A and B are shown apart, each in its own frame.
Chain A
Amino acid sequence: MNFTEELILSCPFPMVNHETMEFRDGLSHEVPAYCKKNFRRKECQEFHLNNTCEKPIECPYGFTALRVQGTFWQVFGMIDTSTKMPKERKNSNRSNVTSNTRITKWAETLKFQTQKIEEKSEQQTGDALYVLHDIRISNGQIKTNAEREIRNRNSGIDFGDAFDRAPSTLKSIYKASELLTGQLDMIDFYYNPSQITRGRKYYTHVYKLFDKIRRISQIKADARNIQLNMIGSSTSEAPLYESIAILPQILIDNAIKYSIPGGEVIISVTEDKRLINVSVSSVGPIIEEDEKELIFSRRVRGRYAEQSGVTGSGIGLWVASKVCKYNNVSLELKIEPREGMVNNTPISLNRFILTITK
């Protein structure tokens, strides 16, 4: 977030650097003589720095302290609300008095600036999203050309059979285009979650769906020397929205991405009378107990996933959780810590488990 000079200069409170806590701009306040004299050990400062509450609170010595946390900045403020204040304390704090007019002006400037930044960011996002429309069209052309080439090589039979007989290089172009479609769908679902329930529910063969994405993802697994194996069996179909297709893509993609070098990703699909059970498991950076729920939040990544150096946006699992929610599919994570470290990162067997009602 960039603030204009006007905003910084008008700030009636000290602004400090987020990481170093050094004074950055705004008005620097003198420590009142009363505090200097009575609280030499700077308990007040300690209290201020250790207090993470963003709502104004009263410090133990009668001042009301506030702390506002921004993305790159923090504002500390101290308002003296005590009416029965000793004269000595009142006098010593006089130099720090900020007028209400100045606070109001600053608040208005801040509001205006924030609004401008939000508008600009919304416009930029909108522009970027409209590019997606063109990307979809280009992707459609790639797919159409691949399909035509597949058809040209085998006419007079069903397109499905023609596809099966096509050379692998041609099929891999088609599969890459399908992966891109999935990634574009993920962006749609991220910005417009109501798209998750678009269209109608289809009876979906869950095993075949995961197997299809496994085959498409093989190229990525090979590039990382990861074994991608499918176990179990299931012949049942479940009524699901087509958005469900993004789920294997997110889970398998993540498992390949975070798996230890030379590791194995196991996709298991089994069923009983009522349920289809799917799990995607791999050994990768440990997900700690307190993160088990959090990693399904928007733009949140596990601390060891972050530390492992693997790039990620914290979007995939959030989208996966929404897709599950709208399709009445349960999604849970089971973690089994493993011995050893990879790239200074502790590891665990991470199993994402889906339960789908037939």
Chain B
Amino acid sequence: MKRYASFKVFSLLFGVVYMGLFWLNEFYGIAFLRYYPVLGGFYNERQPPETAGPAILWYFWLFGALAVSLLVSLVVPRRLAERIPHNWIWMVSAALMVAILVYERRWFY
């Protein structure tokens, strides 16, 4: 268990960073990478919807969360990672799921 303590850091962070990037886009329109399926490529800047079609940001949220969580989990010392209470992982995820349900209820009105 001790050998893989960084896995706990990764799992704890991934969902938080993912949702952070999602809400950063929702509230401030900030996204560093957008995929335009009609154009078939990734772009930093917003493209005109008339010619570029809809953008997909999910890949950016996923890869952003992957990069940050991986980096932090490799940097955090093992002793510190071992001290993270194991219950936090599922509790944080459950809390994020509730937050998603609350936020996305906007689609049902």
Q: Are A and B co-members of a single complex? A: no
